[in-house]
């Protein structure tokens, strides 16, 4: 473990704003993509008129 | 085992479904360990301070943005060469993920540029060519949705994707060919990495994690595309025309 305390970790040596914006934006991007895919899949299944049952 | 049967979209659908949980699990594990090492274990950089930790998402995102573009173009090329529907579906499924990673590479790059260079954005060769890559992804996706005939849409966007591959070596070598503000490659195929082992480990783990994540979401999206396309009513039936228009 490199950090001495939680506040030190969050401060990121004064670069906290930039570092955390980067990591949170990436996490949001991934979350958004997974949620969007989930909804797309639900919509596609609803419109698929049962072809999934015939193939799976 | 006859692998060629999986080139049929409806045969590939269940196979893709079986692979998704594995790729997702490996991705989650690699990203978790990568974040742990990158944020908690790795020491600070003596030149850049802790802002350097942005590379643990920036570099993997930038690599994926270029790599996914090439894979998308290859699938489009295979689709045109073999007239294979699943290949075009793969190309269609890759584009949004590639575009997202391109956007993230640009955004996290700005987050690194501000404290390091004093500017969110500069028009240097690396940044500009990466921005063009974002427009290329958008162009490939928009061209597909703007043409009603699916087969023509696939071909048109496939040609655009293939022509655009020329930008990938430009992005990759831009830091060598031009005098860019963006720093040169810290990791290359021809020389030993110019990074501490612990930092390199975290970066490679994150890259591997992003790679596995991409495979998982692309397989998941190609399943949606298969469903959307295969459940369309037959083209020959005139009474199905309004339904076809609606499905698109």
* Within-domain flag for A10: yes
* Within-domain flag for A1: no
Tell me: pLDDT of B213 over 70. Answer: yes
The verdict on a CB contact (< 8 Å) between B104 and A25 is yes
Query: What pLDDT digit, counting tens, does each position of B119-158 carry?
Result: 999 998 999 999 999 999 999 999 999 999 999 999 999 9
In the 8-state DSSP scheme, what is residue B20?
A: H
Contact list in B for residue A49 (CB cut-off 8 A) is 231
Burial environment of residue A49 by CB neighbours within 10 A (0 to 12, 13 to 18, 19 or more): exposed
Choose the closest CB to A19 out of B43, B54, B221: B54
Q: Which residue of B has its CA nearest to A40?
A: B224
Integer Cα distance of A24 and B206 in angstroms: 15
Tell me: pLDDT of B236 over 60. Answer: no
State how far the alpha carbon of B188 is from the alpha carbons of B62, B63, B64, B176, in Å: 14, 12, 15, 12
Query: What pLDDT digit, counting tens, does each position of A10-49 carry?
Result: 889 889 999 999 999 999 999 999 999 999 999 999 888 7
* Within-domain flag for A35: yes
The verdict on a CB contact (< 8 Å) between A19 and B111 is yes
On whether any CB of chain B is under 8 Å from the CB of A26, the answer is: yes
On whether any CB of chain B is under 8 Å from the CB of A52, the answer is: yes
ipTM confidence score: 0.91
Integer Cα distance of B61 and B53 in angstroms: 14
Distance in Å from the first CA to the final CA of chain A: 47
Mean pLDDT of B206-210: 97
For residue B49, the cross-strand partners are B45
* pLDDT given at position A53: 66
What residues contact residue B9 under an 8 Å CB cut-off, 6+ apart?
B85, B86, B89, B226, B229, B230
Name the 3-class secondary structure at B49.
strand
Integer Cα distance of B77 and A39 in angstroms: 30
Integer Cα distance of B114 and B107 in angstroms: 11
On whether any CB of chain B is under 8 Å from the CB of A42, the answer is: no
Q: Shortest CA distance to B245 belongs to which of B149, B144, B139, B143?
A: B149
Residue B247's pLDDT band, with cuts at 50, 70 and 90, is low
Helix (H) or strand (E) holding B144: helix B125-146
Q: Which residue of A has its CA nearest to B216?
A: A34
Domain boundaries, chain B: 18-43+53-247
The verdict on a CB contact (< 8 Å) between B100 and A12 is no
Residue B47's pLDDT band, with cuts at 50, 70 and 90, is confident
Residue numbers of the domain that contains A19: 6-55
Contact list in A for residue B40 (CB cut-off 8 A) is 1-3, 9
Contact list in B for residue A46 (CB cut-off 8 A) is none
Choose the closest CB to B228 out of A12, A23, A44: A44
Q: How many domains is chain A built from?
A: 1
On whether any CB of chain B is under 8 Å from the CB of A37, the answer is: yes
On whether any CB of chain B is under 8 Å from the CB of A25, the answer is: yes
């Amino acid at each position: 473990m490199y950090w001495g305390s939680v506040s030190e970790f969050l401060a990121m040596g004064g670069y906290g704003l930039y570092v955390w914006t980067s990591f949170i934006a990436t996490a949001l991007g991934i979350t958004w993509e997974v949620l969007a895919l989930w909804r797309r899949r639900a919509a596609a299944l609803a419109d698929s008129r049962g072809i999934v049952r015939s193939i799976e | 085992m006859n692998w060629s049967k999986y080139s049929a979209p409806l045969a590939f659908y269940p196979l893709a479904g079986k692979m998704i949980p594995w790729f997702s699990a490996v991705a989650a594990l690699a990203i978790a360990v990568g974040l742990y090492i990158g944020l908690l274990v790795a020491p600070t950089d003596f030149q850049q301070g802790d802002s350097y930790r942005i590379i643990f998402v920036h570099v993997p995102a930038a690599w994926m943005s270029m790599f996914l573009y090439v894979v998308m173009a290859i699938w489009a090329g295979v689709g045109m060469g073999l007239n294979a529907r699943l290949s075009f579906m793969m190309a269609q499924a890759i584009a949004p993920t590639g575009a997202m990673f391109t956007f993230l590479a640009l955004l996290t790059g700005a987050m690194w540029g501000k404290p390091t260079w004093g500017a969110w954005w500069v028009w240097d060769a690396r940044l500009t060519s990466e921005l063009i890559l974002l427009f290329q992804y958008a162009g490939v996706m928009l061209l597909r949705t703007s043409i009603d005939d699916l087969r023509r849409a696939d071909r048109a966007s496939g040609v655009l994707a293939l022509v655009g591959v020329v930008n990938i070596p430009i992005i990759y070598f831009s830091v060598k060919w031009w005098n860019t503000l963006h720093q040169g490659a810290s990791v290359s195929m021809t020389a030993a990495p110019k990074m501490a082992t612990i930092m390199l480990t975290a970066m490679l783990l994150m890259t591997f994690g992003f790679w596995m994540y991409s495979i998982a979401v692309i397989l998941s999206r190609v399943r949606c595309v298969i469903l959307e396309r295969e459940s369309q009513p037959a083209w020959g039936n005139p009474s199905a025309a309004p339904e076809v228009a609606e499905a698109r």
